[in-house]
Amino acid sequence: MKDANDIAEIMKKVGLFGIGLWALTEEKVQDIADDLIENGEMKKEEGKKFVREVVEEQKKQKEDMEKKISSKVQETINKADIATKDEVSELKDIIKSLEEKIDKLTSSEEKDM
């Protein structure tokens, strides 16, 4: 039976390590495992383990990529000095309050005339 190192070696052989792993579908991974089983490079149970490990690694890479992207987007926004939703909301509240004060002043001036 192959151990984790052997399965990792097989994964390297089929080129699954690297940035493209997260883009593979589970069906495609299963196809690769089926091919390896057919070619005698892997037993059926090892194929199941292989698919499970690749899918787990896929999830991990996807989460890592999402975190990196989110971090870079936030960093870019911070550098660009773009207003946040909270800041915009706060400004809207201030504008509304000022509009109400203007309306009160305007209506009281109209009464005085």
What separation in angstroms does the CA of 65 have from each of 60, 69, 78?
9, 6, 20
For residue 37, the enclosing domain spans: 4-82
Residues 77 and 87 placed together within one structural domain of the fold: no
Q: Are residues 21 and 76 in the same domain?
A: yes
Helix (H, G, I), strand (E, B) or coil at 3: coil
Domain shared by 59 and 13, yes or no: yes
CA distance linking residue 80 with residue 105, whole number of Å: 38
Can you list the residues of the chain whose pLDDT is less than 50? 1, 19
Report pTM. 0.48
CA dist., res. 35 & res. 40, Å (int): 9
Together in a domain, 19 and 36: yes
Look at residue 1 in the predicted model and tell me its pLDDT: 47
CA distance 75 to 98: 33
Does residue 53 sit in the same domain as residue 19? yes
Residue with tokens 């971090």: 71
Report the number of distinct structural domains present in the chain: 2
Shared-domain flag, residues 20 and 52: yes
